[in-house]
Amino acid sequence: MTTRRIVSTQGAPAAIGPYSQAVVGGGLVHCSGQIPIDPATGKLIDGDVAAQAERVLANLKAVLEAAGSGFDRVLKCQVFLKDLRDFDAVNAVYARAFEGLEPPARACVEVARLPKDVLVEIDCVALCD
């Protein structure tokens, strides 16, 4: 039987529901979706979709690092957008996060609504030790 380890870091916002920031098992870290909450204040950040995407990716990076992983080990991301017309703006921020790396597989979909009415949410699965 494979064991699992719960990941929690103050470098990313605390979960806003009954879930963990990430769970490690079987050599993988499964990161819950991150939204643009500033972990220092617990409040949503101000700004457009690009600013929100930057905060989301910073939060995701903190969770990955707490799990012993990083963007260089991400296998797949899922990007959820409130408006698919924001694809190019989010894609530019996303590309910078993975600059110099072989990018992971990805899905990007428009959804009717996201938690706290944010514009973007991203989750991922990555390799970890």
Would you name the residues annotated as active-site residues? Answer: 108
68 vs 113: CA distance, rounded Å: 31
Q: Do you know the residue count of the chain?
A: 129
Q: Mention every residue, 6+ apart, whose C-beta is less than 8 A from residue 12.
A: 21, 34, 39, 59, 60, 62, 63, 66
Cα 92 from Cα 96, distance rounded (Å): 6
